[in-house]
């Protein structure tokens, strides 16, 4: 079924400038320099015993004092950097590689291998970390290699679980299925399909783990099962310094600080890598200070004629003028909805059609005060049932709307809480907004379910959403939107996920509910035929603006439609009478990328009738001779009488 993406378009951002990343890289640089040069510069001095300077407290010559053999503790700490880091990195990489193989390989092997690998990982994870480490030490005897192996073995299962979780998503993906069907070898499936798609989170995790590994290795050495004399790492130094902690506490603090410093460096590096990945996925928005105020519609307020009409016309239920919705983006505001104006009369059913990214859902959800997080909604006028909603916070406006606006969402599975019984969820509304008692509210919920023809409503109310079929769930959502007796229903793609026969029942139900209760409705859909059956009026949106507002009956006679886009849309879908010998009508090109400003008419690039002024100036939505409104310099309905364009390609 269709899975439409709405909301702001995503963009990649440039290189990040996070202070944390810079600090982490600097700290790591210091560590690497020390690891490379310290043993060369001070290696001999750090191991040379000096009988004249045994266990000295800190002094100018020995800033951290000396140990029991008279060796300088500061130099020893600096020299130990190499061994400590090499051990930590080696152990983590070893654990990472084994874990990756265990966790990710099954994605390209059969289901039996997957089960086998999964049980190995779970069993391994079940062993306590310390137990694994101790067993390794007992089996291999204490020493540097033992410590590294022990740590790698304790780290392996958690990396494996991570790789397993990530790669199972790739394993079930259609692109891997496609690769398998192409006959791509398993080795290539692993290296080109699985690994690149799980690499980033694994790398982040490994980096962060090096810090933890360093700490664990130091603990092993501190306990005496790790590095053995005459070798020394920070843990060993810590253990030696601990012996003289009463007369020279600095002796233990030096290596301790080194462990903390290195641990922090790796953790911070891992965190900033993770942050960079997040930003690349979602685009890093500019901070509010650089974004400036949210954009508002450029067009001046209503002309005197419009104002006059607005006042003489029957009072609208919903009056929207100059509505814009903007999102913070990497180069400033992204404007998926710009200067949208329309009115809904009581009892009217209005359809909103447009392609993905046209802003149709964002517009209607913003009016219902359900705009996505981060959205800035501005409007010259936004009145519902005579009450002004501009200047209120979404929460306040939401209270004004209360139960007078009901919303039907597209995906009934996510719109209903899976953990609550359907009846309980419906009863919530009269309980919260109407102050009804528990029994009364439940009774209302059952009646609402019965109203949408859900058989055996009393029993069904006791069931959970997953026990309902898709069509039943959508009906329950309609019941939910109806329960507060709203005067406006906003339905966002209410039947997109449904089969045609179920779709027709749900649409008929919605139509009947409106006819009986006198409620108005706004129905958002990408399918113009669905709206043709259901609605009385059609708003056509393209690239964030309304391009045509027209009586639905005109759809049956497409030559009377004015905007080239509406005409193409009405003609582009094959119906049961389409001439099979001719190619289908198509609209050339693609909708514009709204993350970049569009000059002029957004449809101009795909329009056969566009002239130069179309490309420079945005056409204004104005009253048109067909009784509605259109935003186009070259409306096509007049020409229809002398040269009726058939089903040939519009544009091209």
Partner 1 sequence: MAELVIEDLVVTFGHRHRAFNAVDGVSLTVPHGTIVGLVGESGSGKSTVARTVAGLQRATSGRITLDGDDLLRTRGVDRRRRARDVQMIFQDPYSSLNPRMTVGETIEEALTTHGDLDGRRRAASVRELLDLVRLKPAVAGQYPSQISGGMRQRVAIARCLAVRPRLIVADEITSALDASVQGAVLNLIRDLQRELELSMIFITHNLAAVRYIADTTVVMSRGRVVEHGDSEEIVANPRQPYTRALVSAIPRIEHAGTDHLLRFADEEGLR
Which of positions 1-40 make contact with partner 1 (CB under 8 A)? 1-3
Query: Which span (113-121, 126-134, 582-590, 614-622) binds partner 1, by CB under 8 A?
Result: 582-590
In the window 531-560, what residues touch partner 1 (CB under 8 A)? 532-534, 536, 551-556, 558
In the window 309-368, what residues touch partner 1 (CB under 8 A)? 355-356
Q: How far is the CB of 573 from partner 1 (least distance, A)?
A: 6
Residues with Cβ within 8 Å of residue 460, at least 6 apart in sequence: 422, 423, 449, 454, 468, 472
Residue identified by tokens 């759809």 is 555
Chain centroid to CA 486: how far?
A: 32
Q: How far is the CB of 574 from partner 1 (least distance, A)?
A: 4
Query: Which span (13-21, 30-38, 244-252, 504-512) binds partner 1, by CB under 8 A?
Result: 504-512
Selected from 302, 440, 447, 453, the binder of partner 1 by CB under 8 A is 453
- 587 close to 650: Cβ distance less than 8 angstroms: yes
Q: Is 129 in the site for partner 1 (CB under 8 A)?
A: no
Which tokens is 537 given?
Answer: 């009026």
Residue identified by tokens 């067909």 is 626
Selected from 129, 184, 264, 286, the binder of partner 1 by CB under 8 A is 184
The three-class DSSP label of residue 474 is helix
Q: Per DSSP, what are the bridge partners of residue 319?
A: 343, 383
Selected from 461, 509, 522, 631, the binder of partner 1 by CB under 8 A is 509
Q: Is 617 in the site for partner 1 (CB under 8 A)?
A: no
Q: Per DSSP, what are the bridge partners of residue 352?
A: 524, 539
What is d(CA 364, CA 51) in angstroms, rounded to the nearest whole number? 84
Q: Is 52 in the site for partner 1 (CB under 8 A)?
A: no
Q: How far is the CB of 650 from partner 1 (least distance, A)?
A: 10
For Cα atoms 618, 624, 625, give the angle at the middle one, nearest 5 degrees: 150
Q: How far is the CB of 196 from partner 1 (least distance, A)?
A: 4
Q: Is 528 in the site for partner 1 (CB under 8 A)?
A: yes
Query: Which span (332-340, 378-386, 520-528, 610-618) binds partner 1, by CB under 8 A?
Result: 520-528
Query: Which span (135-143, 267-275, 435-443, 512-520) binds partner 1, by CB under 8 A?
Result: 512-520
Q: Is 583 in the site for partner 1 (CB under 8 A)?
A: yes
What is d(CA 373, CA 136) in angstroms, rounded to the nearest whole number? 51
Contacts for 400-404 with beta carbons within 8 Å, 24 or more apart?
401/368, 401/369, 402/433, 402/484, 403/429, 403/433, 403/434, 403/483, 403/484, 403/485, 403/486, 404/484, 404/486, 404/487, 404/488
Q: How far is the CB of 103 from partner 1 (least distance, A)?
A: 18
Q: How far is the CB of 359 from partner 1 (least distance, A)?
A: 14
Taking the least distance from each CB to partner 1, the nearer of 10 and 302 is: 10
Q: Is 202 in the site for partner 1 (CB under 8 A)?
A: no
Query: Which span (29-37, 117-125, 282-290, 506-514) binds partner 1, by CB under 8 A?
Result: 506-514
Query: Which span (139-147, 294-302, 380-388, 510-518) binds partner 1, by CB under 8 A?
Result: 510-518
Q: Is 111 in the site for partner 1 (CB under 8 A)?
A: no
Chain centroid to CA 498: how far?
A: 25
Among 48, 92, 7, residue whose Cα is nearest residue 360: 7
What torsion do the CA atoms of 53, 59, 64, 65 make, to the nearest 10 degrees? 20
């Amino acid at each position: 079924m269709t899975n439409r993406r709405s909301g702001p378009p995503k963009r990649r951002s440039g290189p990040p400038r996070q202070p944390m990343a810079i600090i982490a890289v600097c700290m790591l640089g210091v560590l690497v320099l020390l690891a490379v040069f310290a043993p060369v510069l001070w290696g001999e001095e750090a191991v040379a015993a000096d009988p004249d300077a045994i266990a000295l407290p800190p002094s100018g010559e020995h800033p951290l004092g000396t140990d029991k053999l008279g060796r300088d503790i500061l130099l020893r700490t600096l020299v130990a950097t190499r061994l400590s880091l090499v051990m930590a990195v080696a152990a983590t990489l070893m654990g990472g590689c084994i874990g990756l193989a265990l966790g990710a390989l099954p994605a390209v092997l059969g289901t039996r291998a997957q089960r086998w690998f999964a049980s190995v990982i779970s069993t391994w994870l079940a062993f306590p970390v310390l137990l694994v480490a101790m067993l390794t030490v007992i089996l291999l005897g204490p020493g540097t290699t033992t410590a590294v192996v022990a740590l790698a073995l304790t780290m392996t299962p958690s990396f494996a679980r991570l790789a397993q979780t990530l790669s199972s998503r790739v394993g079930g993906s259609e692109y891997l299925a496609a690769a398998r069907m192409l006959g791509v070898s398993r080795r290539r499936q692993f290296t080109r399909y699985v690994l690149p798609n799980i690499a980033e989170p694994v790398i982040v995790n490994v980096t962060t783990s090096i810090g933890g590994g360093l700490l664990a290795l130091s603990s092993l050495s501190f306990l005496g099962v790790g590095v053995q004399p005459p070798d020394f790492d920070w843990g060993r130094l810590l253990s030696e310094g601990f012996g003289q902690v009463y007369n020279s506490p600095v002796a233990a603090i030096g290596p301790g600080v080194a462990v903390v410093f290195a641990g922090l460096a790796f953790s911070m590096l891992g965190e900033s890598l993770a942050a960079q990945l997040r930003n690349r996925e979602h685009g890093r928005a500019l901070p509010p200070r650089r974004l400036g105020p949210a954009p508002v519609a450029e067009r001046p307020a209503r002309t005197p004629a419009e104002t006059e009409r607005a006042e003489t016309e029957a009072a609208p239920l919903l009056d929207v003028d100059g509505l814009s919705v903007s999102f913070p983006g990497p180069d400033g505001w992204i404007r998926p909805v710009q200067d949208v104006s329309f009115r809904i009369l009581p009892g009217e059913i209005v359809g909103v059609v447009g392609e993905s990214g046209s802003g149709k859902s964002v517009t209607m959800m913003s009016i219902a005060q359900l705009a996505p997080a981060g959205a800035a909604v501005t409007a010259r006028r936004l009145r519902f049932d005579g009450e002004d909603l501009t200047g209120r916070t979404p929460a306040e406006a939401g209270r004004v709307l209360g139960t007078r606006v009901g919303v039907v969402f597209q995906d009934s599975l996510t719109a209903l809480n899976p953990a609550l019984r359907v009846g309980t969820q419906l009863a919530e509304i009269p309980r919260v907004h109407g102050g009804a008692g528990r029994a009364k509210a439940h009774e209302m919920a059952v009646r609402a379910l019965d109203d949408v023809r859900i058989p055996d409503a009393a029993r069904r109310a006791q069931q959970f959403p997953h026990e309902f079929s898709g069509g039943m769930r959508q009906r329950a959502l309609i019941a939910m939107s109806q329960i507060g007796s709203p005067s406006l229903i906003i339905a966002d793609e209410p039947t997109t996920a449904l089969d045609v026969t179920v779709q027709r029942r749900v649409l008929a139900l919605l139509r009947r509910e409106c006819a009986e209760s006198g409620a108005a409705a706004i129905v958002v859909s990408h399918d113009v035929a669905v709206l043709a059956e259901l609605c009385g009026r059609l708003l056509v949106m393209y690239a964030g603006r309304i391009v045509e507002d027209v009586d639905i009956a005109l759809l049956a006679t497409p030559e009377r439609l004015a905007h080239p886009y509406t005409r193409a849309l009405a003609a582009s879908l094959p119906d049961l009478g389409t001439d099979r010998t001719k190619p289908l009508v198509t609209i050339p090109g693609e909708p514009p990328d709204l993350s970049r400003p569009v000059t002029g008419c957004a449809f101009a690039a795909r329009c056969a009738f566009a002239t130069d002024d179309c490309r420079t100036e945005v056409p204004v939505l104005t009253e048109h001779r067909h009784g509605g409104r259109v935003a186009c310099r070259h409306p096509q309905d007049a020409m229809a009488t002398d040269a009726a364009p058939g089903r040939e390609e519009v544009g091209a």
